[in-house]
Structure 1
Amino acid sequence: MPLQRILEPEVMETPETAAAYDAMDFTAVNTAFCEDLAAVLPTVEQPLQVLDVGTGNGRILQMLHQRYPHWQLTGIDLSPAMLAIARHHSPQLNFIQGDAKALPFAAASFDVVISNSLVHHLADPQPALGEMLRVLRPQGILFIRDLCRPDTKAALQALVDQYAGQDTPEQRQLFADSLHAALTLMEMRELLRTLPQPPQQWQVTLTSDRHWTVVAQRE
């Protein structure tokens, strides 16, 4: 029987949980995210308006700022504990507390909307996806990456052992819970197909042994 989805809390509420997450080394994953994002953009030379939904500790925006200081970067997250860490790492960037399911921005405000590892926190990701598309400008790029739920408990445990084997028990459990809460590739494709206003062009592909990626363009 395929591994069933088990939800985890939507928000990392405590400073201790946020700190445990921040202590994990996602440098390679974040680097791949930034490089893959740049590869699908028509240009990186323009001063793009970029929104990171579910920015967490802000590490991806920090890396993008180092690479593209001319971009205008905004991060939004529901967790005050995570935002405190993000602001500590990158006090020069704009971080806002807010809900991905009701983004506090006007329609068509951003050239690029990104999100990393948010979808698996949401019981129903559809409202958040709709909001990301709403605030995206015409011809803008939506780039979402998240974990892909394995087929079996054994496969899940193998990923935990491989990628969090040297971490603390709490960090290993956080990773295992996230994998259990993640959507499969087919579930994510169905979610995009059934959006009330789906993007003009989109694709969902497996981009690692534990991630899928959405690249979409708004009409």
Structure 2
Amino acid sequence: MPLPRILEPEVMETPETAAAYDAMDFTAVNTAFCDDLAAVLPRVDQPLKVLDVGTGNGRILQLLHQRYPHWQLTGIDLSPAMLAIARHHSPQLNFIEGDAKTLPFAAASFDVVISNSLVHHLADPQPALGEMLRVLRPQGTLFIRDLCRPQTLAELRALVEQYAGQDTPQQQKLFADSLHAALTLREMRHLLRTLPQSPQRWQAILTSDRHWTVVAQR
């Protein structure tokens, strides 16, 4: 029997939980995210307006700012605790408290919309996906990456051991809960096909042993 999806809280509400997440080393994963994003953009030397939905601790925007200081970067998240950490790491960047399901931006406001590890926090990701497309300008790029739910509990436990075996029990639980809450690639593809405003071109593929990635153009 396939591993069922078990939801986790949508928001990391407490400073303790946010700090535990921030203490985990996602350097390799975040670097790969930035590398892969750059690879699908037509040009990176332009002054792009970029929105990071579910920015969390802001580490990806921090990396992007180091690489592309000419980009206009905005991060939005629903967790004040995570935003406090993001602002501490990158006080020069623009971080906004807000809900991915009702983004406080006009239509077609951004050249690029990105999101990393947000979808698994949402019971129904469809409204947030629709909002990401709404605020994306025509011909803009949507780049989403998230965990992929394993087929079995044994596979989940193996991933936790491989990637969080040296972390604290609390951090291991955070990772295990996120894997349990993640969508499979098949579920994500179904969501994209059934969006009221489906993107003109998109692909959703596995990009690691624990991640899928969506690249779409409005």
Q: With structure 1 as the length reference, what TM-score do the two structures score?
A: 0.99
What pairs with 1:1-219 in structure 2 (closer than 5 Å)? 1-218=1-218
Secondary structure at the aligned position of 1:11 is classed as: coil
Secondary structure at the aligned position of 2:75 is classed as: strand
Distance 2:126 2:187 in 1: 12
Secondary structure at the aligned position of 2:214 is classed as: strand
Q: 1:135 deviation in Å?
A: 0.1
Q: With structure 2 as the length reference, what TM-score do the two structures score?
A: 1.00
Q: 1:5 deviation in Å?
A: 0.1
Secondary structure at the aligned position of 2:138 is classed as: strand
Cα displacement string for residues 131-190 of structure 1 (whole angstroms, at most 9, x for unaligned residues): 000000000000000000000000000000000000000000000000000000000000
What 5-or-longer segments of structure 2 have no aligned partner? Answer: none
Distance 2:85 2:47 in 1: 26
Amino acid at match of 1:16: E
Amino acid at match of 1:205: I
What 5-or-longer segments of structure 1 have no aligned partner? Answer: none
Amino acid at match of 2:102: A
Distance 2:110 2:149 in 1: 30
Distance 1:200 1:24 in 2: 37
Distance 1:146 1:55 in 2: 13
Moved over 2 A (4+): none
Secondary structure at the aligned position of 1:50 is classed as: strand
Amino acid at match of 1:39: A
Distance 2:204 2:7 in 1: 22
CA RMSD of aligned residues (A): 0.1
Distance 2:79 2:14 in 1: 9
Distance 1:27 1:57 in 2: 13
Cα displacement string for residues 171-219 of structure 1 (whole angstroms, at most 9, x for unaligned residues): 000000000000000000000000001000000000000000000000x
Distance 1:185 1:107 in 2: 28
Amino acid at match of 1:132: M
Distance 1:47 1:217 in 2: 19
Distance 2:22 2:139 in 1: 34
Amino acid at match of 1:50: V
